[in-house]
Amino acid sequence: MSDKGIIFSAPMVRALLDGRKTQTRRLIKPKAWNAEGDKVNIAIAPTARFTQGSDGRHYFAFDHPRGGPLTAYVSPYAPGDRLYVREAWRPHYLGDGVWDLDVTYAADGLRRTIKDGEFGEDDWTWPKAADRGNVPSIHMPRWASRMFLNVTEVRVQRLQDISEADARAEGLGDQELDGMEARGWFRDLWDFLHTAEGERWEDNPWIVAVSFDVHHGNIDAERAA
């Protein structure tokens, strides 16, 4: 079991807040080692075989184009992991001599105060982007996160293997589809976010599907309690 951050866009953050999102799918971008021991990026072969280790994480094996079997680690997620949600945000300076900090979350405009003692041990400096507006989610420190996810299941599959129920769990909920199937909604969402060759819906890439329970509040606040 481990703790790590996971990035979500504003619409997906709102889906998490509303209880509509309990799954996420992430591209698998494997790294393997060449004969010199250097890490290299290698595409997963269509005939790749996946196994799940005793640690709950997934591994895969494939053939190197120049011969010789290779194995590489696939999934950074496993059941029992805790993922703190990283989203676009903005810190607010409260004045000289005040060590507390206000944070506004871009997804819904919520503003809350974080006390000085809640900053944890993150090595953090004031982001320059905060002087102009929102700070990108990748720069959200752990102590500023307001939600975390408990991973309950991890599956390795092709993108188009997603079911109607899985597509709804990606954040669709009960909103009107205007006759479109949930898989069609997810296909359009995926292609909006992934435009590179090999990553699109039509390319049917390998992905890791992560199911989780959503917990509201900071990940370290729960542990302290």
Query: Cβ distance 130 to 90 under 8 Å?
Result: yes
Would 105 be classed as within a structural domain?
no
- Co-location of 146 and 70 in the same domain: no
- Co-location of 8 and 56 in the same domain: no
The predicted structure's pLDDT at residue 180:
79
Strand ranges across the sheet with 147-158: 3-7, 82-86, 147-158, 206-216, 23-27
- Co-location of 82 and 185 in the same domain: yes
The predicted structure's pLDDT at residue 151:
97
162: left (phi over 0), alpha (psi -120 to 50) or beta: beta
Alpha-carbon distance of 121 to 12, in angstroms, equals 28
How many structural domains compose the chain? 2
Alpha-carbon distance of 184 to 192, in angstroms, equals 12
Would 218 be classed as within a structural domain?
yes
Alpha-carbon distance of 57 to 71, in angstroms, equals 14
- Co-location of 142 and 183 in the same domain: yes
Helix (H) or strand (E) holding 190: helix 182-193
Alpha-carbon distance of 161 to 120, in angstroms, equals 41
- Co-location of 219 and 152 in the same domain: yes
Would 40 be classed as within a structural domain?
yes
Would 155 be classed as within a structural domain?
yes
Would 8 be classed as within a structural domain?
yes
Would 186 be classed as within a structural domain?
yes
Query: Cβ distance 54 to 46 under 8 Å?
Result: no
Alpha-carbon distance of 122 to 82, in angstroms, equals 17
The predicted structure's pLDDT at residue 115:
85
- Co-location of 2 and 67 in the same domain: no
- Which domain does 150 fall in, by range? 1-28+77-88+137-225
- Co-location of 222 and 207 in the same domain: yes
- Co-location of 156 and 61 in the same domain: no
Would 185 be classed as within a structural domain?
yes
Query: Cβ distance 33 to 176 under 8 Å?
Result: no
The predicted structure's pLDDT at residue 118:
75
CATH number of residue 156's parent domain: 3.10.400.10
Alpha-carbon distance of 11 to 15, in angstroms, equals 6
In order along its 225 residues, the chain shows pLDDT tens digits of: 899 999 999 999 999 999 999 999 999 876 655 555 555 555 666 566 667 777 777 776 655 555 555 556 667 899 999 999 999 999 998 877 667 889 999 999 999 998 876 776 666 788 899 999 999 999 999 999 999 999 999 998 899 999 999 999 999 866 666 777 999 999 999 999 999 998 999 999 889 999 999 999 999 986 555
Would 39 be classed as within a structural domain?
yes
- Co-location of 169 and 213 in the same domain: yes
